[in-house]
Amino acid sequence: MDARPIGVFDSGMGGLTVLHECLVTMPHEDFVYLGDGARLPYGPRPLDEIRRFALEIGAYLEAQGVKMILVACNAATSAGLHELQEAANVPVVGVIVPEAHAAVQATRNRRVGLLATQATVDAGRYDELIHALDASVSLHAVACPRLVPLIEGDDPFGEETAEAVREYAAPLKAEDVDTVILGCTHYPIIRPILQRVFGRDVTLVFSADETAREVAETLARKGVENDTRREGRYRFLTTGSTETFRTTGARFLQLPIAEVEHVALAELEAVA
């Protein structure tokens, strides 16, 4: 038995959609979640800068005593997963591999679309993984710079969001894709809009449940599971506004958030 918490991080609150699945899959485990709201969004930033952020947060979470790190951010996974795995003294899991597997299994016409941030598209990790799994599958990627700010804004289901989705979906519909990867942990919040635009014939892939299963399997393999008879606790940290995180974060987590602690960027840099 290992009572240490699992560390989870994202550029903002999108990773809470993944944390929700982890809480359901592993209700006995403790979690500490860090949202890097002060530097949101990661998508438009250079990959080397995102990689540095991931290494800073990983080192900070290790200093908090976590037994595993889950990178619940597609951009950070794309830019720095391997480097973080090499630098960390605990297992590190990302969100991209489960989605690539799910997309290859779901597609019928071997044409897969990807909606993601610019950084995730530029990194090309989905393309590499999908072609490694099935070389006959073509991937068509579209960067969606407007979506994260809209989803974390005051009106995520407004007409501006719907217009942005139509704009980003158009080239994928023109390519006749039958499967679309939601390559950012924020996007499931607006899944109803995405499904309305693409229609029921297109499968939307967001594998938070598969990511949670990978975390659970890694814990079991390493022999660091917590006592299954207990109810786990969770703790929230942010580099941004604690009040914004508390109120808006509940929308993503679908559970109450009572308290949020603030972490100064200088603290992350000092630990790294």
* 10: number of Cβ within 10 Å: 31
For this structure, is 184 an active site residue? yes
State what percent of residues in the chain have pLDDT above 90: 97
pLDDT of residue 150: 96
- What does R_g of the chain's alpha carbons equal in angstroms? 18
Are 6-94+209-271 and 96-206 in the same CATH fold? yes
Indicate whether 272 pLDDT > 90.
Answer: no
For this structure, is 144 an active site residue? no
- Which member of 6, 73, 84, 194 is catalytic? 73
How does 19-50 read in b/e, with b if 16+ C-beta sit within 10 Å?
A: bbbbbebbeebbbbbbbbbbbbbbbebebeeb
- Which member of 184, 215, 219, 253 is catalytic? 184
pLDDT of residue 32: 98
- Indicate the CATH number for domain 6-94+209-271: 3.40.50.1860
Indicate whether 210 pLDDT > 90.
Answer: no
Amino acid at 92: V
Average pLDDT, the chain: 96
Residue pLDDT, tens place only, 4-23: 999 999 999 999 999 999 99
pLDDT of residue 164: 98
Residue pLDDT, tens place only, 172-195: 999 999 999 999 999 999 999 999
Q: Which CATH architecture is the domain 96-206 placed in?
A: 3-Layer(aba) Sandwich (3.40)
Residue pLDDT, tens place only, 40-61: 999 999 999 999 999 999 999 9
pTM for the structure as a whole: 0.94
Domain boundaries along the sequence of the chain: 6-94+209-271, 96-206
Sequence-separated (6 or more) residues with CB below 8 Å from residue 101 = 133, 207, 210
> pLDDT-based confidence at 102, cuts 50/70/90?
very high
pLDDT of residue 178: 98
Indicate whether 113 pLDDT > 90.
Answer: yes
State what percent of residues in the chain have pLDDT above 70: 100
> pLDDT-based confidence at 249, cuts 50/70/90?
very high
pLDDT of residue 157: 96
**Cα–chain center distance at 87:** 20
